Chain A
Amino acid sequence: MQGFIYLVSAYAIVWVGLFAYLAVIMMRIRGVRTELAAVQELVREQQEKPTTS
C-alpha cells in the first residue's frame, strides 16, 4: 500500500508539473502575441504619419 502511494504521487507530480508548465507556456504565448500586436500597431501608426522622427 505504501509503495502504491509513492507510485501515484510520483506520477501525479510529473503530470501536474507538466500541465502547469504547459499552462504557463500558453499564457506566455498569448501575452507575447498581444504585445506584438500592440507594437505592430504602433509601428503602423508611425509609418502612416510622415513625421520628422
Chain B
Amino acid sequence: MIFLEQVIAILWKDVRYELRSKQMWTGMGLFALLVLVIFNFTFDLRVDNVAAIAPGALWVAFVFASLLGLGRTIAAEREIGSMDRLLLCPVDRKAIYLAKLLGNMLFIGVVEIVALPIFAALFNVPLFVGALLPIVLLSTLGIAAVGTLFSAMAAATRARELLLPILVFPLIVPIVIGAVRATGTLLAPAVNEPPWLGLIAAFDVIFLTVSMLTFEYVIEE
C-alpha cells in the first residue's frame, strides 16, 4: 500500500469509529459554547471593546475544546488494543500520524464550524469575513499537529487528561498569539500588524515536519 492509501485507510477507520459514538462531538461542542457564554460574564462586554475581547474568547474556547478532543483516538485505541495490532502491520508510522492528525482536525473542525456562527451571534461580530477561514484552518492545523504527537505520548500514562494540556499549552503559544491577533485584525483592522498568518503557517510547516519525524519514537511500546 502506498503511503497515501495507508493514511486514508486509517483515517476512514477512525472516522467510522467516531461516527458511531456521538458523545464526544456533542460534549466538545457544548463545552465550546459554554466557554463563550462564560466569557460574557467574566468580561464587561460593551459594544466598543467587544472587538478586543471577542477574538480571545473565541480562541480560548477553541483551544480548550481541541484539547478535550485530542486525547480521544489514541487513548481509546490503547484501551481496546487496536493500536498494537496496527503497529504490527508494516504501516509507515508517518502515515499513522497523518491519519490521526487529519482525524483530529476533522473533529475539531466540525466543532469550530458549529461554534463560529453562535460566536458571531453572541458577540455580535461580523463573521464571514474572507480571511477567517485560513486563520482558523492553519491555527487548527498547528494545534492538532503538536497535540496529536503529544496525545500519543500522554496516552501511555495514567494522568493523560492532566498531562496533555500541560505539555501542549506552552508549545502552542505562538499559534494562540497569532490566531487571536489575526482574528482581531479582521474585526478591527490595524496598521503595522506583523504577518501573523505567516507566523502560523511557518509554525505549521516546522512542527508538522518535526512531529512526523518523531512520531515513530513515541508510539512504540
A–B contact via C-beta, under 8 angstroms: no
Q: Give B contacts to A, CB under 8 Å.
A: none
Q: Give A contacts to B, CB under 8 Å.
A: none
